[in-house]
């Protein structure tokens, strides 16, 4: 039995993991607790014991458990964890380095400014006001989103994180995989799956096909250190655990027509000549076969159901962001309406 802890600047994300069980049953329980604000770090001496006790209590653990703690080395908490016979501290970078599962991890370690995220913001707002809110977030941690303004800030921040992460990837990374998992503590308060899909689509500049899984329970974060201890077990777990299958994504600027074959042998021909985002929603547990031709390459794929369905994005790549806020918001709103109408 392992207690796995992932320390972020604001939260402790924790799970009990039983490596002897079948893959889908290895997570015994999970919890998230809020850490004391960074603003009070001068009072943090000796606080780790209290936090560790709170974690044990929240997971209903009565005694010491073999504990792996994962944190960013730049995180204030990294050096505050008291190592003992039962507790080992591992850097998140070290853990990710040995992970051979394609995980796109959106963290909280980077500092963003109003200039970075203003292009995604729904309101005409000064960079100074955004910076003030981001500084409060850095000092006191993210809070529950209540107002429309706060929701816009949260979405803009997550959008910039995803956009910058995808654009920092090696050009051949996405070309070499068909499935990826998106995870990270940035999603602690994030629930809007269709908006998340739109963020991912807006950040992919490669032509190709992917199945996009979302770690909605944030299990991958604390599991990171286990890659160093029980690599084969945890890889098996990741590949077999029923993570949320968000959508099957085709980015195909030159695509004009798709043939959709349903299990009852009914066939639908979808015209995608006009640039845009097209979505075929999932129906129950039915598998759908997609037949299409891109240039000289023919695709014939049988796809399992996903939360949002199958998405065809025929917008030209690389995507060009307009300098006009009104134009950017118009494009986003059009895409949002289509996604929400399909989902509804």
User: Above 60 in pLDDT, residue 342?
Assistant: no
CB burial string 141-171: b at 16+ within 10 A, e below: bbeebeeeeeebbbbbbbbbbbbebbeeeee
* Contact criterion met (CB below 8 Å) for 209 and 221: no
Tally of domains within the chain = 1
Does residue 47 form part of some domain? yes
pLDDT at 343: 53
25 within some domain: yes
Average pLDDT, the chain: 83
Looking at the chain, the whole-number percentage of residues with pLDDT higher than 90 is 10
Which pLDDT value is given to residue 68? Answer: 92
Q: How confident is the model at residue 109 (pLDDT cuts 50, 70, 90)?
A: low
Is 252 among the domain residues?
no
Q: What is the mean pLDDT of residues 157-163?
A: 88
Q: What is the mean pLDDT of residues 168-193?
A: 84
Q: What pLDDT, on a 0 to 100 scale, did the predictor assign at position 344?
A: 44
pTM: 0.84
Residue 63 lies in a domain: yes
Instruction: Give a yes or no: residue 44 inside a domain.
Output: yes
The whole-number average pLDDT for the span 67-81 is: 83
pLDDT of residue 192: 81
Q: What is the pLDDT of residue 97?
A: 76
Inform me whether the pLDDT recorded for 39 exceeds 70: no
Is position 164 within any domain?
no
> Would you state the structure tokens that stand for residue 261, as one six-digit string?
């074959």
Rounded CA-CA distance 127/118 in Å is 7
Question: Does residue 78 lie within any of the structural domains?
Answer: yes
Q: What is the pLDDT of residue 325?
A: 73
Residue 172 is assigned to a structural domain of this protein: no
Domain of residue 70, CATH code: 3.30.420
Domain that holds residue 37: 2-99
Rg of the chain, C-alpha, whole Å: 22
pLDDT at residue 111 greater than cutoff 70: no
């Amino acid at each position: 039995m392992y207690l796995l802890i992932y320390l972020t600047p604001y939260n402790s994300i924790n799970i009990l993991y039983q490596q002897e069980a079948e893959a889908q049953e290895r997570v015994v329980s999970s919890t998230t607790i809020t850490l004391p604000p960074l603003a009070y770090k001068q009072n943090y001496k000796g606080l780790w014991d209290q936090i560790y006790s709170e974690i044990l209590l929240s997971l209903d653990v009565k005694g010491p458990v073999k504990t792996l703690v994962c944190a960013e080395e730049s995180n204030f908490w990294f050096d505050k964890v008291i190592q003992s016979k039962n507790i080992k501290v591992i850097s998140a970078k070290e853990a990710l380095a040995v992970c051979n599962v394609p995980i796109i991890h959106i963290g909280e370690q980077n500092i963003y400014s109003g200039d970075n995220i203003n292009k995604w913001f729904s309101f005409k707002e000064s960079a100074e006001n955004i910076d003030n809110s981001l500084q409060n977030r850095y000092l006191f941690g993210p809070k529950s989103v209540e107002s429309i303004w706060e929701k816009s800030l949260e979405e803009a921040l997550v959008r910039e994180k995803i956009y910058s992460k995808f654009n920092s990837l090696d050009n051949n990374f996405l070309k070499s995989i068909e499935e990826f998992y998106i995870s990270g503590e940035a999603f602690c308060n994030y629930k809007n799956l269709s908006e998340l899909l739109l963020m991912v689509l807006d950040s992919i500049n490669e032509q190709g096909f992917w199945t996009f899984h979302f770690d909605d329970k944030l299990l991958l974060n604390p599991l990171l250190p286990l890659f160093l201890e029980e690599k084969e077990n945890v890889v098996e777990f990741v590949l077999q655990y029923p993570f949320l299958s968000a959508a099957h994504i085709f980015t195909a600027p030159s695509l004009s027509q798709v043939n959709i074959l349903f299990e009852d042998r009914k066939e639908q021909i979808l015209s995608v000549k006009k640039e845009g985002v097209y979505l075929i929603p999932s129906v129950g547990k039915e598998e759908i076969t997609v037949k299409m031709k891109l240039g000289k390459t023919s695709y014939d794929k049988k796809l399992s159901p996903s939360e949002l369905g199958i998405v065809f994005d025929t917008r030209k790549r690389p995507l060009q962001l307009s300098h006009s806020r009104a134009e950017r918001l118009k494009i986003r709103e059009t895409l949002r309406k289509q996604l929400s109408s399909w989902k509804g």
